[in-house]
């Protein structure tokens, strides 16, 4: 975001400058920051104040792109010195300082930018970094109030609320936002995550299916829907199955496995298992689902290595629980107790639904 903000207006600002500057701007816009720096070698700082500001912003963009956070701060401050009250420069400087962990300076510059939605969003990021979660949420809310027609600020606010387990508040924000952005799959995906985290599994599945219908190209909606339905032993509604079967063969087979079990269809069950067995060894969904299939068909010795691989790759409370049950059925009581103890440890600070919901949030990110 910082580099985009810094480079967005540079080309017009330097359009009438020397050719090396024009080339450096174009290279920065293409994210070729090292080459942009090379193009600037030996180029004097422009005399025109507007171009001098753009010159320092360009150098800040290059520094940020190359991971030189302190260098980005230095250049943004040089630009800000030329126009101390410019809100764009204040915001850009605050963002550079945030990345460089100069949080007090970043806070001062973001606050000085005034009633600007981007400034409020940056202020929220700063407060989040400082561990001031209530202040961060309030800043994000201010951004939404200042720019109610911009989706990004609502998404940022809702994501923050979910991350800090304020699920009812997130559901309220997203439910109000969905009608305002009828084509937004991101808002509906986050709403589904919030509903799931709050224990409303059926609503979550329906909302995520709606997100996919709104925009079939949003990958995160499929990933989140898959994570939710894979947590259950029951088959989801047909609409969800249809979406997932168009998206991923392995997940589709996992859904067919559930349908086959509910219908007592041995032939369909064997077909689903065959597809899961053909998946690459590194496909964790296939490993976890094969463990489930073998457990359901009482092939516990086959289920054990698959579930052990599943737990190592995805050590969720539920997977530890499933592993413990398999060990128990195999008569391995000590190993079973170890898995149950690990599950309990993971759930000490939150419910199983919350843990699963926050894990699903990773798929959105």
175-232 pLDDT per residue, tens = 999 999 999 999 999 999 999 999 899 999 999 999 999 999 999 999 999 999 998 8
Across the range 306-322, mean pLDDT stands at: 94
Q: Has residue 282 got a pLDDT over 80?
A: yes
Q: Which two tokens stand for residue 292?
A: 């489930």
Quote the tokens at residue 91: 């915001």
Residue 289's pLDDT is 96
CA gap 143, 336 in Å, rounded: 49
Which long-range contacts does 334-341 make (Cβ < 8 Å, 24+ apart)? 339/311
Model pTM greater than 0.75? yes
Domain layout of the chain by residue ranges:
184-365
Q: What is the CATH number of domain 184-365?
A: 1.25.40.10
Residues 6+ apart with CB under 8 A from 20: 39, 40, 43
Q: Are 127 and 135 in contact (CB under 8 A)?
A: yes
User: 196-205 in b/e burial notation, b at 16+ Cβ within 10 A?
Assistant: bbbebbebbb
Q: What is residue 58's predicted lDDT score, i.e. its pLDDT?
A: 93
pLDDT at 15 over 60: no
Res. 318: pLDDT tops 70: yes
Please name which of 52, 55, 66 lies closest in space to residue 2, comparing C-alpha atoms. Answer: 66
Residue with structure tokens 């973001």?
A: 110
Specify the 3-state DSSP secondary structure of 31. coil
For residues 322 and 342, is the Cβ–Cβ distance under 8 A? no
Q: What beta strand segments (E) does the chain contain?
A: none
pLDDT in tens, 109-154: 999 999 999 999 999 999 999 999 999 999 999 999 999 999 999 9
**pLDDT tens string 246-279:** 999 999 999 999 999 999 999 999 999 999 999 9
Under 8 Å CB-to-CB from 175, ≥6 apart: which residues?
A: 191
């Amino acid at each position: 975001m910082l580099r985009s903000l810094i480079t967005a207006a540079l080309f017009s600002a330097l359009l009438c400058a020397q050719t090396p500057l024009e080339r450096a701007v174009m290279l920065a816009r293409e994210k070729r920051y090292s080459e942009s720096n090379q193009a600037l070698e030996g180029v004097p700082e422009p005399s025109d104040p507007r171009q001098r500001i753009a010159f320092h912003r360009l150098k800040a963009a290059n520094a940020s792109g190359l991971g030189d956070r302190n260098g980005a701060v230095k250049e943004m401050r040089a630009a800000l010195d030329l126009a101390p009250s410019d809100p764009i420069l204040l915001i850009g400087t605050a963002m550079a300082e945030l990345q460089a962990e100069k949080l007090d300076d970043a806070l001062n510059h973001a606050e000085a930018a005034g009633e600007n939605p981007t400034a409020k969003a940056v202020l929220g990021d700063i407060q989040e970094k400082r561990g001031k979660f209530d202040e961060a949420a309030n800043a994000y809310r201010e951004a939404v109030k200042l720019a109610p027609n911009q989706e990004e600020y609502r998404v940022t606010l809702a994501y923050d609320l979910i991350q800090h387990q304020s699920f009812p508040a997130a559901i309220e924000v997203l439910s109000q936002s969905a009608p305002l952005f009828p084509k937004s799959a991101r808002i509906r995906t986050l709403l589904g995550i919030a509903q799931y985290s709050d224990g409303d599994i059926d609503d979550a599945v329906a909302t995520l299916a709606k997100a996919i219908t709104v925009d079939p190209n949003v990958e995160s909606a499929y990933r989140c829907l898959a994570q939710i339905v894979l947590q259950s032993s029951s088959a989801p509604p047909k609409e969800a199955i249809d979406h997932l079967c168009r998206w991923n063969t392995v997940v589709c087979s996992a859904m067919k496995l559930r349908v086959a079990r509910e219908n007592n269809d041995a032939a369909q069950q064997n077909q689903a298992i065959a597809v899961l067995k053909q998946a690459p060894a590194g496909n964790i969904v296939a490993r976890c689902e094969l463990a489930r299939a073998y457990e359901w068909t009482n092939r516990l010795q086959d289920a054990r290595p698959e579930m052990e691989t599943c737990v190592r790759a995805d050590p969720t409370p539920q997977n530890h629980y499933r592993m413990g049950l398999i060990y128990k059925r195999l008569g391995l009581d000590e190993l079973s107790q170890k898995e149950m103890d690990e599950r309990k440890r993971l759930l000490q600070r939150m419910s199983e639904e919350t843990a699963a919901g926050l894990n699903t949030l990773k798929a959105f990110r």
